[in-house]
Amino acid sequence: MRFSSTILLALPALVLAQEQIPLGEKVKGWINKAQSYVSSAVPAVPSPMDAGAAKVAKRVEHILTLDNWKSVLIANPSTTAAGPEDWMVYITGGNKTCYGVCGNATKAWNESVAILSASPTAPSFAVLDCENEPLLCNSWAVGPPTVYYMSIPRPLADQSSPAPTVRYIPLNRTSVTASDIVALSAKKTYQETEPYEGIWHPFNGLLAEYNLSLPIAYVSWGMSKMPSWLPMIAISFLSRTFM
């Protein structure tokens, strides 16, 4: 009885406290609760700015494939500018090649292309999707997310072509921003990365000179498709044969 009477005595005080809360505060609280329920039930809508940047990027960038990359990544003969032509190649992927975490880098790339393309001295842009072009990515020995910054010289008077300069610049999947990618061209921060001159150089590396990059790409791609248990069985059979 004491417990029940205590509750009964406390009820008027609780009601009085609720009445002292301004009506505006109550409405604000109800709206906040409703917004939280709606936001949890409705999926996120892409930002119009993100969508616009993606559309601009698609208009100015070239999609690289195993069949067209050699004809795309060249110095434009119709331009009269002196010196090499710069290309920024964005290397991306999907769930298998980038583990589904290239979204932030792709957003930063689209925004940077939209910004840089407005400049008369902007480089040319291209995209290589390792999910769709695994052989090309394997022949270059590259992985996403990355920017391959290329400076491709124009043909000389005797029609000979000097070797292009390439720089392999990995991007941080979670923290890269559009300003980071813009700075590669606008502030020439790509020069902070040493040019790559190894055997996997796309144009004049040892493997490219002897036409071995594509056969090796087929081998590495085939091994990536091989089940993990198959090499163990093959090793077991070989060891038993030698025994």
pLDDT, tens digit (0-9, with 9 covering 90-100), for 141-159: 999 999 999 999 987 766 6
pLDDT of 5-34, one tens digit each? Answer: 444 444 444 444 444 445 445 444 544 544
Name the residue ranges covered by the structural domains of the chain: 2-41, 48-225
Angle between helices 178-186 and 103-116 (to 10 degrees): 40
Task: Count other C-beta atoms under 10 Å from residue 52's C-beta.
Answer: 13
In this prediction, what percent of the chain has a pLDDT beyond 70? 64
43 preceded by cis ω (within 30°)?
Answer: no
Tell the CATH topology of 48-225.
Glutaredoxin (3.40.30)
What pLDDT score was predicted for residue 32?
Answer: 53
DSSP β-ladder status, 124-129 and 61-63: parallel
Q: Which amino acid, one-letter code, is at 203? A: F
pLDDT of 27-61, one tens digit each? Answer: 445 445 444 433 343 344 445 556 566 666 667 89
Cβ atoms of 81 and 123 closer than 8 Å: no
- Report d(CA 118, CA 222) in Å as an integer: 42
* DSSP characters over 50-103: HHHHHHHHHHHEEEP-TTTHHHHSS--TT----SPEEEEEEEE--TTTSTT--H
Average pLDDT of the segment spanning 79-106: 90
The verdict on pTM exceeding 0.75 is no
- Report d(CA 88, CA 73) in Å as an integer: 10
